Amino acid sequence: MANANYSRALIFSGGNLGGWALSRICPDDYLIGADRGALFLTRQGRAPHLAVGDFDSISQNELDLVRSAAAETLAFDAVDKDWTDTELAVKEAIARGFRDIVVIGGLGTRFDHSLANVHLLNAAAEAGCRAILVDEHNEIRLLAAGITERLEADSQYPYVSLLPLTPAVTGITLQGFKYPLTDATITIGMSLGVSNELAEPCGSIRIGSGKLLVVRSRD
């Protein structure tokens, strides 16, 4: 189970990382480095509590550096493992009892990996966890039926887009937005929910059925 000293698991993946990522770390975060994410943390002087992956994207000397810094290292065979390094990290976070998970650097130049990591939001939700994907330009979360998502205005991510993860999402109601909606339906392929903005200091999103990706972004 999650150590009571930590409020959430912060997973550093192997996507685009930089100084912005370090600003996301809070004192009570449990730091997990997935493959190159573990090397990034180590080189930035932030020793991972857990390093996990097949480590096929770093050299043996770099892996030795990670092993010496991390409190725990779980190395998997690159051929035999069935999951991506980020999915391994998410599975470990869930298994250790964390219900609040943030994946940093899970969006990068590989669209297949980025899309797979977006789908991890659904896997986490089905395990009873709240997960968010974050990079320098985007913050992505998943909203399920019956839950009201409240968003505070954030100049770092001024745009809010709503994209269905299921074939259709019904009963979409937005309050506090520039373009409000009431009991609307969005199906896959529709652009109705793209590039909205908050019109008030705080807004809310609620849906009746389906699963909705909430993407906060900036140019």
Backbone angles phi, psi at 40, to 5 degrees: -60, -50
Q: What is the mean pLDDT of residues 180-202?
A: 95
Sign of CA dihedral 29, 30, 33, 39: positive
Q: What is the mean pLDDT of residues 125-145?
A: 94
What is the residue extent of each domain of the chain?
A: 8-136, 141-217
pLDDT for 141:
96
Give the mean pLDDT of the chain.
92
pLDDT of residue 79: 56
CATH number of the 8-136 domain = 3.40.50.10240
Give the CATH superfamily of 141-217: Thiamin pyrophosphokinase, catalytic domain (3.40.50.10240)
Q: What is the pLDDT of residue 99?
A: 95
pLDDT higher than threshold 80 for residue 131: yes
Confidence band, pLDDT 50/70/90 cuts, at residue 9: very high
**Paired tokens of 65:** 């550096």
pLDDT score for 184: 96
Helix (H) or strand (E) holding 130: strand 130-134
Helix (H/G/I), strand (E/B), else coil: 40? helix
pLDDT in tens, 61-90: 999 999 999 999 999 876 556 688 999 999
| Fold equal for 8-136 and 141-217 | yes
Share of the chain above pLDDT 90, in %: 80
Task: Give the C-alpha separation, 32 to 47, whole Å.
Answer: 9
CA 5/CA 7 separation, integer angstroms = 7
